[in-house]
Amino acid sequence: MKFKYLIIVFCIVIAAIVFITILLPAVSGPGYSASLRYVTFPLLLFMSLLLIGVSVFFFLNYRLLSLLEREDWPALAYYLEQKIYVKNRYNARYVRLLASSYLVISDFQSVLKLESKALLIKPAVIDKNILIFGSARILSGNYSDAAAFFKSYAGKCRGKEQQWVRWFNGFSHLLGGSFNLAEPEFSSLAVSSDDAVITGLSAYFLRNTIEKRSTAPETCVQIANNGRDRVLKAIKNTEHWKKETDKTGAEIHIAIVRKYIVDAGNWIYDREEKSS
């Protein structure tokens, strides 16, 4: 296991530093020993506490880390079910990992069951994992429920997470065929979002899907082109677009729209690269 070996190597390095620090006074003479109290002892204490902390964390989380490294999602789900349902440990990290494990094995009903139980016992963990629980509704094909869910939680988050919640609200309407409800959300994000990926995705769907069903197609195209230009100013080429999108590639909500991110990048940079 690579992770286990990294932890062991790290602990060995810290232990070696502690050992060398202890030996330094003996090999450096009385002059160095006089400074032990002011320099060496604080360093020794810090290194020792760091070593103890890492060791305790590793041994307490060994089973969880090993399952994550092996990507054994059914076993990880069972392990987390014992932690959450049996031991009643509804912390945000466990809930997030369990919901993500269910999504990977396409057990969407178990995600909704987890959400229902968490809402009764610790609602705050839902607020911290809105995108995951909303994604379960999208992946299960319940687009109207997904749109209602994202809309209800839009005011409970801030910054880029709020923008993603708004974007997925529009995306849920789009998948459900409610293009008139998706259009205003995407139009707003295409001109106001400070996230280039959200801007690009919004502009892409406006230009390539919603325009055909819009009651104001010219305005739709204008907003889409404005969003595209904003992305081009922020991210200069396809390579940089890929690097930007890869930063959050491990997130579940990014994974389910990965295809559209690639398509949006092709649309944004196709004309630009042909003209260069």
The DSSP code sequence of 172-232 is: HHHHTT-HHHHHHHHHHHHHH-S-HHHHHHHHHHIIIIIGGG-SSHHHHHHHHHHHHHHHH
At 71-128, the pLDDT tens digits run 899 999 999 999 999 999 999 999 999 999 999 999 999 999 999 999 999 999 999 9
**Which structural domain range is residue 8 located in?**
1-60
Domain boundary pick from 42, 60, 78? 60
Task: Give how far Cα 257 sits from Cα of 87, 189, 198, 275, Å.
Answer: 35, 17, 11, 28
Angle between helices 196-205 and 217-234 (to 10 degrees): 150
In a domain, 81, yes or no: no
- Amino acid letter at 214? S
Supply the pTM of this predicted model. Answer: 0.79
Could you say which DSSP state residue 82 is in? Answer: I
Which tokens belong to 101?
Answer: 């494990």
Rg of the chain over all Cα atoms, to the nearest angstrom: 25
Q: Which of 11, 6, 18, 13 is nearest to 46 (CA)?
A: 18
In a domain, 9, yes or no: yes
Total number of domains in the chain? 2
Task: Give how far Cα 276 sits from Cα of 30, 130, 142, 270, 271, Å.
Answer: 71, 41, 43, 10, 9
The residues near 184 (Cβ < 8 Å, ≥ 6 apart) are none
In a domain, 256, yes or no: yes
In a domain, 108, yes or no: no
Domain boundary pick from 14, 38, 60? 60
In a domain, 53, yes or no: yes
At 192-208, the pLDDT tens digits run 999 999 999 999 999 99
At 246-259, the pLDDT tens digits run 887 678 888 899 99
- The Cβ of residue 32 has, within 10 Å, a number of other Cβ atoms equal to 14
Q: Tell me which of 245 and 29 has the higher pLDDT.
A: 245
